[in-house]
């Protein structure tokens, strides 16, 4: 029984060492930039007098401070949900999905 476990472990370790380099994270590091958003229409719901719940999407473009740098000119889509009570923002929650020209994606909360 022990020999079988050692064999399975050896096969698993060999498979990990033989993994192609493409499986490893190719892009990492620090970067700065700006996102240009073009607010799209959303759907608002009046839950009660003065309380509005809004579902919308913020599409845009990420512009790295270094032209041609990491995820420069990548598409950005940010779906979000927002609570507004008596004209004041109470809560807003969403995610941003950044897709580069190669189809790689990054996610932000």
pLDDT given at position 71:
85
| Tally of domains in the chain | 1
Is residue 101, in this structure, part of any structural domain at all? yes
CB-side neighbour CA atoms (13 Å) of 98: 19
Is residue 14, in this structure, part of any structural domain at all? no
pLDDT given at position 29:
65
pLDDT given at position 15:
40
DSSP string for 22-53:
GGS--------EEEEE-PPP-EEEEEETTEEE
Q: How far apart are CA 62 and CA 59, in angstroms?
A: 10
Is residue 19, in this structure, part of any structural domain at all? no
Is residue 81, in this structure, part of any structural domain at all? yes
Is residue 40, in this structure, part of any structural domain at all? yes
CB 98 within 8 A of CB 62: yes
Model-level pTM? Answer: 0.62
Is residue 24, in this structure, part of any structural domain at all? no
Is residue 97, in this structure, part of any structural domain at all? yes
Q: How far apart are CA 29 and CA 49, in angstroms?
A: 47
Q: For each of the chain's 109 residues, which pLDDT tens digit applies? A: 444 433 333 343 444 444 444 444 445 667 788 888 887 788 999 999 999 999 999 999 999 898 888 888 999 999 999 999 999 999 999 999 999 888 888 888 8
CB 24 within 8 A of CB 33: no
pLDDT given at position 39:
74
Containing domain of residue 87, as a range?
Answer: 29-108
Which run of H or E residues covers position 108? strand 105-108
CB 77 within 8 A of CB 97: yes
Is residue 4, in this structure, part of any structural domain at all? no
């Amino acid at each position: 029984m022990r020999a079988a476990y050692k064999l399975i472990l050896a096969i698993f370790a060999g498979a990990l060492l033989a993994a192609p380099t493409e499986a490893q994270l190719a892009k990492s590091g620090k970067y700065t930039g700006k996102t240009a958003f073009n607010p799209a229409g959303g759907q608002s719901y009046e839950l009660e007098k003065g309380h509005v719940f809004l579902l919308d999407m913020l599409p845009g473009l990420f512009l790295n401070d270094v032209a041609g740098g990491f995820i420069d000119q990548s598409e950005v889509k940010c779906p979000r949900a927002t609570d507004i009570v008596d004209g004041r923002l109470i809560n807003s929650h969403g995610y941003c999905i950044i897709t580069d020209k190669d189809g790689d994606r990054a996610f932000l909360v």
